[in-house]
Structure 1
């Protein structure tokens, strides 16, 4: 029994290649006074092509599925060309497991999603003031060190102490600006540096921007977590990582330091381009892979993943 070879990011290059010209399109710059739309209705297809390397190939493919998340996205329907063996939840994420047995010819799995993605950012959260505060025990895990988020490293702790502000939001914004000032966007890279590596090398892609901001926030005692998903506007790959920080009286609020550095977002405003799949940095279900993983027996299979996205009728939602 073996898992499909390749590291967490190498698998994502397959997704980028499959979307063709869209992968090279640069996102529009957000200018002053350019308010994002409230929401967008979209459909997208996550396609997995499995090609047997011989006879009697078996595969168990597990993939993340989007789920309805209040104020962020509404999933109207999900359909499959092959029915999943099971759909299950773990640690707040939703997954589907597909079994392919004794395959001798190519198998294509298409997951079609009809969704509405809503604008949700600090500005929106301050307007609608969502939810009730979580008890401290529910937030403890978002203050700890974990792989790639070295919140207790000396360099990280020293940098976090430099942030000044008269309110929690002011401190968060100071840490946010610290990441933007410290890092230079490297373009998509296969090697993961972690927060400490990003701080020392002063570069990274969306993963490093996310890891570093989370580490700095946690070092200041502010709960933060990584979000992994897809974006509808991208310059290299559709997979994207961003941050959610737990703010007093507001709950979990998304921030996107990389897009802010690229001037396609601000600290207060995000566009409705985010498809949420996971709120875990190190996903044990996927064995550290992003979005999906595949376990095989027999002679094995080659798996190629692709994404196709279509905008439907734009909608506006008042919260």
Structure 2
């Protein structure tokens, strides 16, 4: 019998380098680490030097660091080690109807944002046709959206730019971003709250663990909660122990995992900001 859980060690190293023409002033680094999720449990976190840990409204864990004054070409490094237990999960469904979804969630997670412009006529027309076949059922509609997304988009790995729903309706090709953006937009078009999750898709061999940066979607189901969908990997209402969720976003459509805030004095301060990730099997 295959084990349905895995423990992973994520070692994340951040490097902040002063590549400007002068000495920098103190700055503040915001670093999104992992998110609370029904398919993964955070076992342990060690960080050197330690930052101030916070959790935002979407259950994303992030760290705040005070970066010291840096001389020209001087670097400041932060290493974070996170032990995560991830599990295979199949989400339950019920006979809930779309109009049973709480209005507060609709208001916060059904806005037409960049990449999710569901108020576009083309998106509305597709949503209308899919809804007609769904009998106002959340399950039926999301299943129809999932099938439409998978059958319509031609997979192109590692697209240079994120196209968003309007771009994908022009080309009907893309990577995981385009799959999830189309799914989210069509869900929001009928007032089903949906949001984006970014993280890692792991691949395990006998001697090492490799990964790709990955994105998928979550949609709200009354009586169940937030349910995961990964149309790019054909995972309907399910995730695997090889998914690691780092950040979810529903009130915004894009969030940088690394943000450095600083003021400019005498020089135009320029920082080289890098994140390196190593994943180990425990």
Would the TM-score normalized by the shorter structure come out above 0.5?
A: yes
Secondary structure of 1:189's aligned partner: coil
Structure 1: which 5+ residue stretches go unaligned? 1-34, 128-132, 261-265, 313-319
Q: Which residue of 2 aligns with 1:227?
A: 197
Structure 2: which 5+ residue stretches go unaligned? 95-99, 205-209
Q: Of 3, 10, 30, which aligns to 1:62?
A: 30
Q: Which residue of 1 aligns with 2:97?
A: none
Q: Which residue of 1 aligns with 2:225?
A: 251
Q: Of 264, 271, 274, which aligns to 1:304?
A: 274
Q: Which residue of 2 aligns with 1:106?
A: 75
C-alpha deviation, 1:275, in angstroms: 2.0
Is structure 2 residue 10 aligned with structure 1 residue 47? no
Aligned-partner Cα distance in 2 for 1:64–1:139: 25
Listed as ranges, the matches of 1:172-183 within 5 Å are: 172-183=142-153
Aligned-partner Cα distance in 2 for 1:289–1:218: 19
Q: Which residue of 2 aligns with 1:10?
A: none
- TM-score, with structure 1 as normaliser: 0.73
Deviating more after overlay: 248-257 vs 224-233: 224-233
Could you list the per-position Cα deviations for residues 208-261 of structure 1 after superposition, in whole angstroms to 9, with x for gaps in the alignment? Answer: 111111111111232211112223239x9632211111123322110001111x
C-alpha deviation, 1:307, in angstroms: 0.6
Moved over 4 A (4+): 281-284
Q: Which residue of 2 aligns with 1:168?
A: 138
C-alpha deviation, 1:165, in angstroms: 2.9
Aligned-partner Cα distance in 2 for 1:172–1:188: 26
How many residues align? The count is 261
Higher relative contact order (CA 8 A, sep 6+): 1
C-alpha deviation, 1:177, in angstroms: 0.8
- TM-score, with structure 2 as normaliser: 0.82
Higher strand fraction (1 or 2) = 2
Aligned-partner Cα distance in 2 for 1:276–1:38: 17
- Contact kept? 1:36, 1:269, Cα under 8 Å: no
Aligned-partner Cα distance in 2 for 1:237–1:274: 10
Q: Which residue of 1 aligns with 2:207?
A: none
Backbone CA RMSD of aligned residues: 2.7
